[in-house]
Amino acid sequence: MDIELADAVAAVREELVEAAWRGRGQPVGFVVGPIEMEFIVELRADAKAKAGFKAWVLGSAEVQAGVSRGRTHKVKVTVTPKDPGGGDLLIAADAEGFGPGDVSGHVGR
């Protein structure tokens, strides 16, 4: 199964939004700190991409089977999630108005 690197990162973002939404009103909250993501990717030519290439995340079965070993690269990305106002992303909030707000347009896309 081919997954674009951008889609893999977007899936992590959507899961964080969902976690923040589920945590609203909970008495214990968490500040989300830096998140490290590591992927094995294969670069493939793509006429639609600006640089002419796209990075595709390989699944663990593909990596274990040695698919395209000569063309794979390990990519490690560290991100620090922020809320829309630039503050720390909170998983849970005690007071109304904290957290990500309405996520209905983002979750489950």
Q: Rounded to an integer, what distance in angstroms lies between the CA atom of residue 74 and that of residue 69?
A: 11
pLDDT higher at 38 or 61: 38
Tens digit of pLDDT for each residue in 48-99? 766 677 788 887 655 555 555 557 888 899 999 998 889 998 887 555 554 5
Classify 88 as helix, strand or coil: strand
With bands split at pLDDT 50, 70 and 90, how would you rate the model's confidence at 107? low
Q: What is the mean pLDDT of residues 2-6?
A: 86
Interatomic CA distance for residues 84 and 58, integer angstroms: 31
Answer with the residue of higher pLDDT: 2 or 26.
Answer: 26
The pLDDT, as a whole number, for residue 103 is 60
Distance CA 60, CA 55 (A): 16
Distance CA(17)–CA(11), nearest Å, equals: 10
Strand pairing of 90-91 and 30-31? antiparallel
